[in-house]
């Protein structure tokens, strides 16, 4: 990924991510070169630096941007971009269909930024023809301000605040509200402070007035002069030079391309909008489609191999059934349904021998009752509330004097062959202990002649 500084005078620069941070290099292009020649030179440079396969951001100079301040009746009106475009068109010498517009909304104010598409559209088309993807078109000044605010103390969200930034191309003046720029003016480097002073005086008459004014990169003498003529107390911020400003623009642009930063204004709209809205992520989509196709092929191959394995297992079982049938019935020909014939023969044999697949039988209830009563200890006093035999299990609820008596009853029953779980006991409110004994009844331990064990 890379940042391309578009300059109509032929001065182009490209920033890319280096090991220690953004790196900015100039690209030598003839001043009279056309869009195709410039695009070829830029793409050749990007290929040398292994950046041609990733999206790029086009950074516009302030001189290529026209701005307008748009008051809003309510903050929700800022979401109606069509109405904002018509309002901005009334302030600018550009038709909406001949320009690209973007908007930054802060509270009840909005900043509209536009650029003529006639000079930029051929350049973008030439980059696209070289296989490059232009992800966004963002004013350089807004990128630099966004990075500067992220590095320094952020502007308070309440009220309007002015920001002055001195760059190598001139002076940038911003008005911030609700964390977004709502006004922007560019003053060329050759211009004196007269234009800026008039703008500040106008801002003081506007509603709402400025709460604070901060300045980056301006000499103290200039700040004192501006403060004396406007009556504003301008607060100098951290030092700023041209190199730091350019590196800030590059850093913000790279964060935008990585998807970690949302630009305040993106002019890749209108006449500059991509014909394919998926073009910024088209390379990733191709990789995703290729990965999905490979996954489908691998899954299909795995399923086909698995089906072949099951088919082989099926054939082996069919051969085994045929071998068993030939061994059991050597004089008979192999029937169509070998399994059903073998199951039928097994059923006939079970009927002759008395071996059936029915549920196992349980001992007679009376025999079990006799076994249980004979097993109860005679030296203990106990009361049986409920005694039940159900599906081979024993359920005995009753009352004894102590918890130890319940364990004695369970031990006596285990001695007679009952497989019991530890008894559950509970102290009764008055006296005595409630007990519950459960366990399995084994049919083998009951004799068939009346239920007594021998």
pLDDT in tens, 318-329: 888 888 888 888
- At 156, the pLDDT band (50, 70, 90 cuts) reads confident
221 and 125 in one domain? yes
Nearest C-alpha neighbor of 255 from the set 147, 148, 155 = 147
- Domain hosting 400: range is 365-445
135 and 258 in one domain? yes
- At 308, the pLDDT band (50, 70, 90 cuts) reads very high
Q: What is the pLDDT of residue 446?
A: 47
Q: What is the pLDDT of residue 399?
A: 93
> CA 401 to CA 382: how far, in whole Å?
7
Q: What is the pLDDT of residue 405?
A: 92
> CA 327 to CA 451: how far, in whole Å?
45
Greater model confidence, 356 or 169: 169
Q: What is the pLDDT of residue 355?
A: 59
Q: Does pLDDT of 2 surpass 90? A: no
Q: Does pLDDT of 278 surpass 70? A: no
Query: Average pLDDT for residues 85-94, to the nearest whole number?
Result: 86
- At 411, the pLDDT band (50, 70, 90 cuts) reads very high
pTM over 0.85: no
Q: What is the pLDDT of residue 162?
A: 84
Q: Does pLDDT of 291 surpass 50? A: yes
How many CA within 13 A on the CB side of residue 435? Answer: 25
291 and 251 in one domain? no
- Cβ(60)–Cβ(120) under 8 Å? yes
168 and 126 in one domain? yes
373 and 344 in one domain? no
Q: What is the CATH classification number for the domain harbouring 430?
A: 3.30.1360.100
160 and 50 in one domain? yes
Asked if residue 161 belongs to a domain, the reply is yes
Q: What's the per-residue H, E or C state across the chain?
A: CEEEECCCCCCEEEEEECCCCEEEEEECCCCCCCHHHHHHHHHHHHHHCCCCCCCEEEEECHHHCEEEEEECCCHHHHHCHHHHHHHHHCCCCCCHHHEEEEEEEECCEEEEEEEEHHHHHHHHHHHHHCCCCEEEEEEHHHHHHHHHHHHCCCCCCCCEEEEEEEECCEEEEEEEECCEEEEEEEEECCCCCHHHHHHHHHHHHCCCCEEEEEEECCCHHHHHHHHHHHCCCEEECCCCCHHHHHHHHHHHHHHHHCCCCCCCCCCCCHHHCCCCCCHHHHHHHHHHHHHHHHHHHHHHHHHHHHHHHHHHHHHHHHHHHHHHHHHHCCCCCCCCCHHHHHHHHHHHHHHHHCCCCCCCCCCCHHHHHHHHHHHCCCCCCEEEEEEEEECCEEEEEEEECCHHHHHHHHHHHHHCCCEECCCEEEECCCCCEEEEEEEECCHHHCCCCCCCCC
390 and 344 in one domain? no
Number of domains in the chain: 3
421 and 309 in one domain? no
Of 230, 254, 275, the position where a domain reaches its end is: 275
Q: What is the pLDDT of residue 453?
A: 38
> CA 236 to CA 222: how far, in whole Å?
11
Indicate the range of 91-95, 435-439, 442-446 predicted with least confidence. 442-446
201 and 121 in one domain? yes
Report the alpha-carbon angle 419-420-424, nearest 5: 180
Q: Does pLDDT of 33 surpass 60? A: yes
> CA 93 to CA 84: how far, in whole Å?
16
322 and 210 in one domain? no
Q: Does pLDDT of 206 surpass 80? A: no
């Amino acid at each position: 990924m890379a940042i391309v500084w578009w300059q109509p005078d032929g001065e182009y620069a490209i920033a890319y991510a280096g090991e220690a941070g953004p790196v900015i290099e100039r690209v030598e292009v003839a001043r009279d070169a056309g869009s195709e020649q410039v695009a070829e030179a830029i793409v050749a440079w990007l290929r040398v630096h292994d950046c041609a396969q990733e999206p790029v951001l086009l950074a516009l100079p302030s001189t290529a941007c026209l701005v307008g301040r748009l008051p809003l009746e309510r903050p929700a009106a800022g979401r109606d971009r069509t109405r904002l475009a018509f309002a901005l068109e009334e302030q600018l010498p550009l038709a909406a269909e001949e320009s690209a517009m973007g908007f930054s909304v802060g509270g009840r104010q909005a900043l509209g930024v536009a650029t003529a598409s006639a000079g930029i559209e051929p350049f973008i088309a030439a980059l696209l023809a070289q296989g490059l993807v232009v992800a966004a078109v963002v004013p350089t000044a807004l990128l630099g301000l966004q990075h500067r605010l992220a590095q320094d103390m952020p502007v308070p969200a309440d009220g309007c605040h002015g920001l002055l930034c001195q760059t190598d191309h001139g002076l940038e003046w911003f008005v911030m509200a609700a964390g977004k720029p709502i006004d922007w003016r560019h003053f060329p480097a050759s211009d004196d402070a007269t234009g800026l002073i008039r703008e500040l005086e106008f801002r003081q008459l506007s509603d709402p007035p400025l709460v604070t004014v901060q300045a980056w990169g301006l000499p103290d003498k200039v700040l004192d002069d501006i403060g004396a003529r406007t009556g504003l107390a301008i607060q100098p911020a951290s030092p700023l030079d041209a190199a730091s400003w350019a590196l800030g623009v590059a850093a913000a642009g790279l964060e935008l391309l990585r998807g970690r930063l949302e630009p305040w204004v993106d002019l890749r709209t209108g006449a500059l909008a991509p014909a394919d809205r998926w073009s910024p992520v088209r390379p990733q989509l191709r990789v995703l489609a290729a990965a999905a196709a490979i996954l489908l092929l691998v899954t299909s191959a795995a399923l086909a191999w698995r089906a072949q394995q099951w088919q082989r297992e099926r054939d082996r079982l069919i051969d085994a059934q045929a071998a068993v049938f030939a061994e059991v019935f050597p004089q008979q020909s192999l029937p169509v349904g070998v399994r059903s014939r073998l199951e039928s023969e097994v059923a006939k044999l079970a009927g002759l021998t008395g071996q059936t697949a029915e549920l196992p039988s349980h001992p007679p209830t009376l025999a079990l009752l006799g076994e249980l009563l004979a097993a109860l200890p005679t030296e203990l006093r106990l009361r049986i509330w409920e005694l039940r035999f159900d599906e081979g299990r024993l359920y005995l609820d009753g009352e004894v004097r102590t918890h130890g008596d319940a364990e004695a009853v369970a031990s006596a029953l285990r001695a007679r062959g009952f497989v019991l779980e530890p008894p559950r006991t509970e102290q009764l409110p008055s006296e005595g202990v409630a007990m519950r004994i459960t366990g399995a009844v084994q049919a083998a331990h009951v004799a068939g002649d009346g239920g007594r064990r021998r």
